[in-house]
Every structure is written in C-alpha cells, then in structure tokens.
C-alpha cells in the first residue's frame, strides 16, 4: 500500500511540476509582491489559522469525552501540533503521529484503541466538511457561469469520482459485517504483496479486532449528540479556507468565493495523493497551479500559495516541535 501511494505521488507530482513550469517566470514578481504585501492581513491569516486549529482541538476533545480517560482542552491543543510535527520529522504514512497521539493520550487514561478510533472519526467528520465546502464552491461557479466548458467537464468528472468513492465507502461501512469482509479482502491482497516484498503482514485476527473496536466505539458514541462534532469540523474547514482567502487579499487580490472554495477542494484532493504528510511538496506546487488555472494572476497565485503554506503548515509544525518537547518533559 505504501509503495503504491509513492508511485501515485510520483506521477501526480510530475504532472503538477509540468503544469507549474510556466509559473517559474513568475517567481521573481511573486518575491516582489512580498515586499509590498499588506502584512496586517497576513497576521490576520495567522490568527484565523490558530482559531481553526482550536476548533480541531475542540472536535477531538469532544470525541474523547464519552470514553474512559481525562484530558482538558489545552492539553489537546498541545498534542495536535506535536502530532503534525512528528509526522513530518518521521515520515511513515501518518503512523508516527498515530503512535505519538496514543502515547500522550495513554498518559491521561485513554487506551490505544480509543486514540485510534477518535482519530479515525476526526478524519471522517473533516472529510465530510471538506467535501461539502468544495462542492459548494463548484456549484457557485457553475451557477454564475464562471466556468468554461473544459473546466466544467473536468470538475464534473472529479466531482463524480468523489461522489462515487463516497457512496461506495458509505455502502461498505454501513454494516459491520460488510466492512469486515471488505477490510479482510484488502488485507489479504496487501499480505500477498507484502510477503513478496518482505514487508509486515496483518493477521485476520488483528484486522477483525480493529474493525470490531471501531464499531463498538461508534455504538458508544451514538448516545451523544452529533451536531457539536459537525459544528467544529465545519468551523475548522471554513476558517482554514478563510485564511487562504486572506492570503490573497494580503497581495491585493480579491478572489471570488467560488474560485476559492473550488481551488481549496482540488488542493485537498491532490495533497491526499501525497505519500508525505500534509501533501508536502505536492500541495505547495499544486496550490499555485490550481489558482492560476482558475484565473488568478500567476505571481499572485504563487505568493498566496507560499504564504498560506507557511501559515497553515510550517508555522503550526514549528509550534508542534516546541509542544512535543514540553509534553515529553512532563511526567
């Protein structure tokens, strides 16, 4: 599975690099835009991004409440950036972050199963919010006639693929038995490939225990109201989009909401193909390409993409490094 994702990443990165090549000439002008940027807006982007991360922490905090253990909101705020940092420091398809999360939550009474389950639920809620936000942008552009025939066709194809994937995932995951059968089938395929490559395989008992643990956790959470989870998941995504829009405003370009939402969704889809956490490399290049293709000036697209990635990716991981050191030092 990891090798397959690396191959997909290489292909996607090659395509994005090919599309980014015409923007190379815009780098000097993008650098000059930073000299004349409205720094107050960039500060606002940082503050919005911090509030967005606070919503993510609250979502995780609420997901943990029904389970045995005790954690406060501020400790959750400290753990999430530390996870984000360690996933970059030790690239492992996200496994290093999962382990660190289980380690820190284990100190306050949560089992590894609860840690992994709530992380999976966080991903599900955020993915639902991202899909809704992205499709609303596409609908906005379509309604206002701001898309050409080729753009409409390509975005419609992408939308159909996402909807089909979501429908299949929902159908498979609706029943525990169906999900277990599908997971065991995928595990068997992976085991065959892993045995040839001398990689670690998964036993059927281990897979069954994980699936059962997930659905037991779902049953446990059904007694809890779902709307707070959705509120904070959507708040996290909407504020993240807002910080991206503010980065464009910092370079004196007022981007249309539909273009902003659509470009954000496409960036997430492409970065999800990346083997490195946060779509490192792939997201940085694709963000500029996407918005340049959607009509933003090339230099502005490059400058806004760099500013957004510095704020949303690198700044929070720098904070995460500090948090990791502090959390490790505590008993």
Long-range Cβ pairs for the range 135-139 (8 Å, 24+) = 135/159, 135/265, 136/261, 137/257, 137/258, 137/259, 137/260, 137/261, 137/262, 137/263, 137/264, 137/265, 138/258, 138/261, 138/262, 138/265, 139/258
**Burial tier of 12 (Cβ tally within 10 Å: 0-12, 13-18, 19+):** buried
Least Cα distance to 188 among 171, 169, 168, 208 occurs for: 208
277-317: per-residue pLDDT in tens? 444 556 666 788 888 878 788 888 889 988 998 999 889 99
216-273: per-residue pLDDT in tens? 766 766 677 788 999 999 999 999 999 999 999 999 998 888 888 888 887 777 666 5
Q: Whole-model pTM?
A: 0.76
Distance CA(288)–CA(270), nearest Å, equals: 12
- Among 140-144, 305-309, 327-331, name the most confident range: 305-309
Contact 84, 316 (CB under 8 A): yes
Q: In the chain, how many domains are there?
A: 1
CA distances in angstroms from 111 to 2, 70, 104, 118, 234, listed in the order given: 26, 11, 10, 11, 27
Q: By residue range, what is the domain housing residue 151?
A: 2-329
pLDDT of 45 higher than 90: yes
Both tokens assigned to 237: 């995504």
């Amino acid at each position: 599975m990891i090798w397959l994702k690396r191959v997909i990443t290489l292909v996607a990165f090659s395509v994005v690099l090919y599309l980014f090549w015409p923007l190379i000439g815009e780098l000097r002008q993008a650098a000059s835009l930073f000299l004349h940027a409205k720094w107050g807006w960039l500060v606002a982007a940082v503050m919005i991004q911090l509030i967005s991360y606070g919503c993510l922490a609250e979502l995780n905090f609420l997901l943990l409440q029904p389970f045995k253990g005790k954690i406060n909101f501020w400790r959750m705020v400290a753990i999430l950036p530390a996870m984000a940092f360690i996933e970059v420091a030790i690239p492992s398809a996200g496994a290093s972050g999962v382990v660190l999360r289980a380690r820190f939550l284990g100190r306050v009474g949560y089992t590894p199963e609860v840690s992994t389950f709530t992380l999976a639920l966080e991903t599900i809620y955020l993915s639902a919010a991202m899909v809704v936000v992205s499709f609303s942008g596409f609908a906005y552009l379509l309604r206002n006639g701001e898309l050409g025939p080729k753009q409409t066709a390509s975005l419609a194809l992408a939308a159909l693929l996402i909807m089909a994937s979501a429908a299949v995932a929902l159908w498979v995951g609706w029943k525990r038995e169906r999900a277990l059968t599908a997971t065991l089938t995928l595990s068997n395929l992976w085991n065959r490939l892993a045995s040839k490559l001398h990689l670690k395989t998964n036993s059927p008992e281990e897979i069954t225990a994980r699936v059962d643990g997930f659905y037991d956790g779902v049953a446990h959470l059904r007694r809890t109201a779902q709307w707070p989870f959705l509120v904070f998941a959507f708040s996290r995504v909407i504020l993240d989009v807002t910080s991206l829009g503010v980065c464009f405003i910092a370079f004196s370009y007022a981007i249309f909401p539909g273009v902003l939402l659509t470009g954000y969704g496409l960036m997430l889809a492409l970065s999800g193909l990346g083997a490195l956490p946060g779509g490192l490399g792939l997201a940085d290049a694709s963000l500029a390409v996407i918005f340049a293709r959607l009509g933003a000036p090339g230099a502005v697209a490059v400058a806004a993409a760099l500013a957004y990635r510095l704020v949303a990716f690198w700044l929070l991981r720098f904070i995460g490094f500090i948090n990791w050191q502090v959390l490790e030092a505590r008993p």
